[in-house]
């Protein structure tokens, strides 16, 4: 008789960018090793690839390749909370007193927050508007990686155009999916945007939702303070 296969409990989570429900199970020892090895490498790309692999293995009802980066960060924390412990030890240095501060964070208190002024709808003119979508890990990596054949501006615009989801005709309610058009057609389309539209798109990126948590503590002088933690790399440091 062979060794039994251990059944894993299922939990429900809401994906921040879509507000849709998904199910997940805790990660196994095998998957925990994948994450630990990636963390030890201190390579951000390795960590994100490990996170994608674990989320792909542990969740149902999500397409990992289409998730926004903050979705990945949130889901891996929720999985970690059910796999290890919902309490996470966290340390940082107080900038004023230079003391080491050590606290415990309840993963259930961590959330994805959307800054004021964020809007996925960008108005082009009285007739048209576009709807943006959040960049995936692949698109973020594309922006970060240096391509000798492209200037930094070209890379930025490439990522920007990749995040335009649809064009809407306000007069007819006709919807055009940008993925149905060639790169040349999309490039020509974006070249016609005025400065105000580009500014609104920049604001969309600058105010994207973030995985964040505010830690309230007292320093050694008994002064009330706050420390804001953002992004998965901070929580997994």
How many Å apart are CA 130 and CA 124, to the nearest integer? Answer: 7
Measured distance CA(86)–CA(10) in Å, rounded: 16
Is-contact 113 209, C-beta < 8 A?
A: yes
Burial of 16 (0-12, 13-18, 19+ CB in 10 A): buried
Give pLDDT tens digits for 165-194: 999 999 999 999 999 999 899 989 999 999
In the prediction, which pLDDT does 136 show? Answer: 87
Q: What is the pLDDT of residues 113-166, one digit of tens each?
A: 999 999 999 999 999 999 999 988 877 766 555 555 566 667 777 778 889 999
* For the chain, domain boundaries: 11-113+210-235, 121-206
Structure tokens at 214: 């505010």
Mean pLDDT of 59-79: 92
Task: Say what the pLDDT of residue 149 is.
Answer: 58
Question: Within 10 A of 136 (CB to CB), how many other CB atoms are there?
Answer: 21
Taking the C-alpha atoms of residue 167 and residue 178, their distance in angstroms, rounded to an integer, is: 7
- pLDDT for 98: 93
Average pLDDT, rounded, for the chain: 87
């Amino acid at each position: 008789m062979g060794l039994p296969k251990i059944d894993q409990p299922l939990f429900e989570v809401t994906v921040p960018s879509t507000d849709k429900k998904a199910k997940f199970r805790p990660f196994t020892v095998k998957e925990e090793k994948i994450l630990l090895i990636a963390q030890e490498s201190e390579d951000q790309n390795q960590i994100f690839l490990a996170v994608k692999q674990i989320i792909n293995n542990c969740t149902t009802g999500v397409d990992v390749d289409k998730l926004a980066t903050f979705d990945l960060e949130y889901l891996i924390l929720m999985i970690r909370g059910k796999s290890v412990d919902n309490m996470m030890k966290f340390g940082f240095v107080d900038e004023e007193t230079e003391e080491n501060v050590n606290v415990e964070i309840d993963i259930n208190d961590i959330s994805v927050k959307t800054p004021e002024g964020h809007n996925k709808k960008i108005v082009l003119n009285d007739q048209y508007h576009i709807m943006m979508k959040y960049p995936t890990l692949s698109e973020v990596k594309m922006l970060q990686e240096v391509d000798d054949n492209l200037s930094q501006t070209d890379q930025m615009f490439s990522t920007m155009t990749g995040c335009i989801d649809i064009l809407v005709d306000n007069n007819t309610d006709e919807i055009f999916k940008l993925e149905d058009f060639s790169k040349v057609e999309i490039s020509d389309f974006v070249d016609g945007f005025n400065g105000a539209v580009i500014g609104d798109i920049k604001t969309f990126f600058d105010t994207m939702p973030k995985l964040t948590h505010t830690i309230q503590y007292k320093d050694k002088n008994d002064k009330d303070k706050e420390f804001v933690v953002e992004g998965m790399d901070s929580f997994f440091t």
